[in-house]
Chain A
Amino acid sequence: MATDTMTKDGVLAARGGTFLTEDRTAAEVFTPEDFSEEQKMIGQTASEFMENELGPKIPQIIKLDYELSRELMRKAGELGLLGIEIPEEYGGLGLDKVSGCLVSESAARDGSFAVTFMGHTGIGSLPIVYFGTEAQKQKYLPKFASGEWISSYSLSEASSATDAMNAKARAVLSPDGQHWILNGEKMWLTNGGFADVYITFAKVDGEHFTAFIIDKGTPGVTLGAEERKTGIKGSSTRPLIFQDAKIPKENLLGEVGKGHKIAFNILNVGRFKLGAGVTGGAKFALKAAAEYGKSRTSFGQPITNFGMVREKLGEMAIRIYVSESIVYRTAGLIDKNLEGVGLNDVAEALKRIEEYDAECSMVKVWCSEMLDYVVDETVQIFGGAGYVDDYPAERYWRDARVNRIFEGTNEINRLLVPGRILRKALKGELPLFQKAMGLMDEFTAGPSFEEPEEGFLKAEERMVKGAKKIATMALGIAAQKYGKGLGDKQELLGLWADVAMETYALETAVLRAQKKAARDGDAACAVQEAAVRCFAQDAMDHIEASAKRLLAALDDGDMLRTYLTALKRFGKRDAVNVVALREQVAASVIDAGRYTL
C-alpha cells in the first residue's frame, strides 16, 4: 500500500496500546497540521465535489433516490474518490488512510450519502481488496473504483448481529459441484436497493461461516422492502433473501469456514474511518448552528450574544478539535506502520493495521459520541426550528444516531479496548502490569516536591502523565482481582474503557497543539491552547469519576481508601477558569461562523 503522500518527518509508528505505558513527544504524532500538499488537494477535490454536486441534491437524496445516488457515485468514481483503497493495478489509487479520512469527512456533508459512500468503499470493496482471488479482483475492483458497479454488504440476520457466527443462512454445494446453493435471510444490506454486488455470509453445510460475493440478478436472490429508518433515510437498507439461490462456485470469498476472518478484519480496518466521517458531519452541524445562531435574534440581538449559546458553540468546537486529533493520529499510526508493506502480503498488512485495534475502537466510540453531543446542541441552538424538518438540525440529529450502533456497537467497542490491551499485556507486548507495580512503589514513596515545569500546555502534559498512571493502576488492580474472569465484568470494563479513551484523547489533543505551537509559535495557537486547557479539565474530571466508580467496585475499606488517595495524587491539578477558556474558543467560532481550529 503506497503511503508516499504522508508527511513522515519524525512520526513514529509507536506500538498499539503504548499510549498508556510510554510518554510521547509532539513530533512523534501525526496531526492535521501535517497534511502533505497532495493530501490537502485530495481533501479539496472531495470537499468541492461534495459541496457542488452533492450539496444542492441533498433534498432529493434524502427522499431515497436510487438513480441519483448511483449518478453521484459514478461522478465520484470519475474523480478517483472511490478508489483510494483499491490498488493501482485494479483501477484504484492505492493511497494512504489519511487521504481516505479526508475524503470521508467531506462525504459527511450528508449523513445518508456518507453511508452510501463509505458502505461502498469500505465494507463493500475491502473484503475483495483484502481477500479476493486474482480473478475476483480483476472482475470487481475496477468497476468498484469507477463507480460503474455499486457494492453492498450484510453481516447481520434477524437473530444475529454482534454474534454474527450464529448466522442461520446456509450454503451447500450443488451435486455437480458448480454452485453454492444458499438459503436464508440477511438483514441491513447497506446500499442494497441500488447495488450490483452483495457481499454477505452464510454457513457452509450449516457449520462453516463463509463469505460470498453475490451478483445482482442471481436466480433465487431477492431483496425485501426498504427499512423505514429513523435517520439516513437516503441510504438504502434492505433485507437480502436467498431461496435456493445458485451462486457460482467461484464467487466464494476467501476460504470455507474463514468468513469470520473477513468479517472482523474488515470491521477493524474501517472502524477508525467512521471517526473521520462523524468529525466531518460535526463540522457541518457546527457551521449550521453558528450561522443560525448569528442570524436569529432574541430580545433585539443575535442569540450568539448570549453566554449559554456561546458556551455550547465553544464546547462543540473543542470536542471536534479533539475528535479530529485522534482520528488523524490513529490514521497516521496505521499509515506509518504500513510503510513498505504491499497488499500482495495481505496477512502482514492486516497484522500491521490490527496493531491499533484498541485505538481504532476508541476512535469509533469517542467520535460517534462527540457527534451526538454536537448534533444535540445544534438542535438546541435552533430551538423550535431544530424540531421541524424545514431546517437541517433535526436531520443531523436523526442521522447521527446510527453511528453508535453500526460498525460494532459502542458497547462492543468499549469491551474491545481493555480486551485488546490486556491481550497485549498478557502476551508480553505491553509492560502494563510492570508499570502498575511500579506505580504502587511510586505512591508509597510519597508525593514529589519538584518545581513544575513552565511552558505551553505543560500543566496539561502533567495531567496526561497522571491520567496514564490512573488508567494503568486501575486496570492492574482489576486484573489482579478478577484474573481471566475480568472478561465477564462488562460494566467494569466499560468504565475502564472510558478512562483509557479520555487519556488517549487528552494526550493527543495536547501533543497536537504543542506540535503546532512548536512550528508557528505559541501566540498563533492561543485558541487551540484554550480548547485543550478546557478539555483537559473535563477529561480529568471524567477519568477520575470513572476510575473512582471502578475502584469502588473492586475493593472497599482501607484498600479502597488507599486506591482513592493514589487516584487523587495522580489526578492532581489546579482548577482553571474553563468558563473563560470556552468563551475564547466560542468567540473564534462565532466570528468565523464555522469550525476553524
Chain B
Amino acid sequence: MKIIVCVKQVPDTETRIRINPEGNGIVEQDVNWVVSPYDEHAIEEALRIKEQKGGEVVLVSLGPDRAQTALRNGLAMGADSAVHLKDAAFDAADTMGVAKALAAAIKGIGGYDLVLTGQQGVGGDNSQVPGLLAGLLDLPQVTMAIKLETGDGKATVTREIEGATEVWETSLPAVISAQKGLNEPRYASLKGIMAAKKKTIEAKDAAALGIAAADLAPLTQVASLELPPARPAVRMIDGDPETQARELLRLLHEEAKVI
C-alpha cells in the first residue's frame, strides 16, 4: 500500500505561549516545534500497515523552513520520503488554502491507497483540513479513528463518538484522521535517525503545485487572539459551615455574579 500522511509542525504543548503585538498570532521566538501529537498517531499507523502489508509511506507537510525538522522526525520514525510545501505565499493561507495545497501535492504524488492525517493540529485545533482534503480529493472520509484495519480496496475504521464507538467500512483510497488511542507512536530509534539523513525531502512551492495566489486568498481571518485570563488567587472562606455557605452564596451573587 502507498500511504500518504499529512504532518503539521506545532508548538510543543509545554511551550509558554506569548501573543504577538498585532494580537493575531503567537511569538515564535523560543518556541520548541514538534510534530503535532495526532499526526504522530497517523505516522505510526501508516508504518504499522506498511510493516504488515509492505508498501510505502510518504509524508507531506506545509510550513516554513523549520517544518523540515518535523518531516525529518517522521522519516526517522521510518517513513520513506517526504514532500515539503513551502512558499511565502502560503504564509497567509487559512485552512482552506492549506488543504488546497496539500490536495495538489497529494494528487501530484499519485498512486496512493490511503491518506492519513491527525484529527486536528494541536494549537490551532480547527479539525478542518482532513474534511476539506477529502472534499478536494473527492474521497470518502472517516474521522476520529481509534482503530483501523485495511483489506482489499477497503478499510474498517472504528471511530470514537460521544459515549460510544462506531464501526465504518469505507472504500479506499480514503482520508482517515487519527484520534488519540489509535496506537502508541514509536520513538525514533538512533538507527532511524541516522537513516533519515539519507532520505529525500522534496521541496515544492506554489508554482510547482500549480496553485495561484487567488487560490490561497484566505476565506477566514483571525480577528484577535488572547490568552486565557490568569487564574485569580484562591480565597479561603472561614467560619462554621453555615457562615461559609452564606458567604459563598453572597460572593457568587455579588462578586462572581454567576447566580
Contact = CB atoms under 8 A, between A and B. Distances in A.
Contacts of B16: 591-592
Contacts, number: 45
Interface string B195-211: 01100000000000000
B190 A42 contact: yes
Max chain B Cβ within 10 angstroms of own Cβ: one of A40, A41, A44, A524: A41
B190 A93 contact: yes
Given A37-B72, A591-B16, A45 B197 contact: no
Contact of B193 (A41, A48, A83): A41
A524 B69 CA distance: 22
A80 B189 contact: yes
A78 B189 contact: yes
Interface in B105-137: none
Contacts of B73: 41, 44
A38 interface: yes
Contacts of B193: 38, 41-42, 45
Given A37-B69, A37-B72, A41-B73, A80 B190 contact: yes
Interface in A78-105: 78-81, 83-84, 93, 95
22 contacts: A37-B72, A40-B69, A41-B73, A41-B76, A41-B196, A42-B190, A42-B193, A45-B188, A48-B187, A49-B187, A79-B187, A79-B189, A79-B190, A80-B191, A83-B190, A84-B190, A93-B190, A93-B191, A93-B194, A591-B16, A592-B16, A596-B30
A592 to B, nearest CB: 6
A497 B188 CA distance: 42
Contacts of B72: 37, 41
Contacts of A42: 190, 193
Contacts of B220: none
Interface string B1-16: 0000000000000001
Interface in A562-597: 591-592, 596
Nearest to A84: B190
A48 B77 CA distance: 13
B52 interface: no
Interface residues of B, number: 17
Max chain A Cβ within 10 angstroms of own Cβ: one of B16, B29, B187, B191: B187
Nearest to A36: B197
A93 B189 CA distance: 11
Interface residues of A, number: 23
B102 to A, nearest CB: 24
Contacts of A80: 189-191
Contacts of B189: 45, 78-80
A41 B188 contact: yes
Given A37-B69, A41-B73, A592-B16, A81 B30 contact: no
A84 B188 CA distance: 15
Max chain B Cβ within 10 angstroms of own Cβ: one of A49, A78, A79: A79
B190 A81 contact: yes
Interface in A13-41: 37-38, 40-41
Contacts of A37: 69, 72
Contact of A524 (B29, B196, B197): B29
Interface of A: 5, 37-38, 40-42, 44-45, 48-49, 78-81, 83-84, 93, 95, 300, 524, 591-592, 596
In the A-B complex, the 9 residue pairs with the smallest Cβ-Cβ separation, listed nearest first, are A80-B190, A41-B193, A79-B189, A45-B187, A80-B189, A45-B188, A80-B191, A93-B190, A38-B193
Nearest to A95: B190
Interface in B27-86: 29-30, 69, 72-73, 76
Max chain A Cβ within 10 angstroms of own Cβ: one of B72, B189, B194: B194
Contacts of A38: 193-194, 196-197
B197 to A, nearest CB: 6
A93 B16 CA distance: 35
Contacts of B194: 5, 38, 93, 95
Interface string B160-203: 00000000000000000000000000011111011011000000
A79 B190 CA distance: 6
B137 to A, nearest CB: 31
A95 B76 CA distance: 16
A81 B73 CA distance: 17
Contacts of A79: 187, 189-190
Given A41-B76, A79-B187, 16 more contacts: A38-B197, A41-B73, A41-B196, A44-B73, A45-B188, A45-B190, A48-B187, A49-B187, A78-B189, A79-B189, A84-B190, A93-B190, A93-B191, A93-B194, A95-B190, A95-B194
A489 to B, nearest CB: 47
Nearest to A83: B190
Contacts of A45: 187-190, 193
A596 B194 CA distance: 27
Interface string B220-247: 0000000000000100000000000000
Contacts of B76: 41
A41 B189 CA distance: 9
Contacts of A591: 16
A171 B187 CA distance: 46
A470 to B, nearest CB: 37
A383 B189 CA distance: 41
A45 B187 CA distance: 6
A44 B76 CA distance: 12
A444 to B, nearest CB: 50
Nearest to B187: A45
Contacts of A49: 187
B227 to A, nearest CB: 13
Contacts of B190: 42, 45, 79-81, 83-84, 93, 95
Nearest to A588: B30
B215 to A, nearest CB: 32
B40 to A, nearest CB: 11
Contacts of A41: 72-73, 76, 188, 193, 196
A48 B14 CA distance: 13
A524 B31 CA distance: 13
A78 B188 CA distance: 11
Contacts of A524: 29
Nearest to B184: A52
Max chain A Cβ within 10 angstroms of own Cβ: one of B16, B72, B189: B189
Contacts of B196: 38, 41
A405 B16 CA distance: 39
Contacts of B187: 45, 48-49, 79
Nearest to B16: A592
A84 B189 CA distance: 12
A84 B196 CA distance: 17
Contacts of A84: 190
Contacts of B188: 41, 44-45
Nearest to A94: B194
A1 B72 CA distance: 24
Nearest to B75: A41
